[in-house]
Amino acid sequence: MKKPASLRAAITAALPELATDPDKLSVHIDAGVIEASGGLSASFEYRYTCNVILLDFAGDADLLFIAINEWARRYQVDLLNDPEARANGITFEVDILANELADVSIKLQLTECVVVGVDADGGRTITHIDDSFEPPYTITNVAEPNPDPESIFVRSERDGMESQVWPK
């Protein structure tokens, strides 16, 4: 499973105080299941709850949750786009301690697909599907002047082409 390590790295990057005291951040996998079919393929999907725990947290909760949302937008986009997943895909609990400290537990419902195949020599191949998402465009109406404020344009990062997406 690769997502817990990347989530930990994203949180540590957003909260520099964790770099000096990494023991205050722990990441656990709870309630994991393997979803596989009875077909001929040995491929499967990990489905699990990733539990992120911050001990004696005195930082800015907004920065913490922004980092988690940005991570989810890239690596588990259904947590933000799917109404059912949004309802309970990211949950949290906070134990407020003395001196403005808190223990924070954040649970994310994650999945990872593993494709199992056979190579030319008959050996097993194992591939973790990269389901990260990077949009191929940027919205220009927010940061750049637009001659028509009643429309929205996108620009491809690949070729720089601009297209009007609203109204069509």
Cβ neighbours of 18 (radius 10 Å) = 19
**Residue 136 — very low, low, confident or very high, per pLDDT cuts 50/70/90?**
low
Higher confidence at residue 144 or residue 103?
103
**Residue 84 — very low, low, confident or very high, per pLDDT cuts 50/70/90?**
confident
The answer, yes or no, to whether residue 143 has pLDDT greater than 60, is no
Residue with tokens 């986009």: 77
How far is it between the farthest Cα atoms of the chain? 62
The amino acid sitting at 17 is E
The answer, yes or no, to whether residue 141 has pLDDT greater than 50, is no
The answer, yes or no, to whether residue 92 has pLDDT greater than 50, is yes
CB 12 within 8 A of CB 25: yes
Sign of CA dihedral 44, 45, 48, 53: positive
Q: Mean pLDDT of all residues in the chain?
A: 85
pLDDT tens sequence across 98-124 = 888 999 999 999 999 999 988 899 899
From 3.40.50, 2.60.40, 3.30.700, 3.30.2000, which CATH number describes the 3-130 domain? 3.30.2000
The answer, yes or no, to whether residue 158 has pLDDT greater than 80, is no
Q: Mean per-residue pLDDT for 82-86?
A: 87
Q: Which of 33-42, 105-114, 130-139 bottoms out in mean pLDDT, i.e. has the lowest?
A: 130-139
Q: For residues 15 and 21, give the distance between their C-alpha atoms in angstroms, rounded to a whole number.
A: 11
Q: Mean per-residue pLDDT for 70-98?
A: 91
- Angle at the Cα of 81 (from 77 to 84), degrees rounded to 5? 110
Of 112, 24, 117, 113, the closest CA to residue 64 belongs to 24
Question: Helix 3-14 and helix 61-75: axis angle, to 10°?
Answer: 140
For the chain, give every domain's residue range: 3-130, 135-168
The amino acid sitting at 108 is L
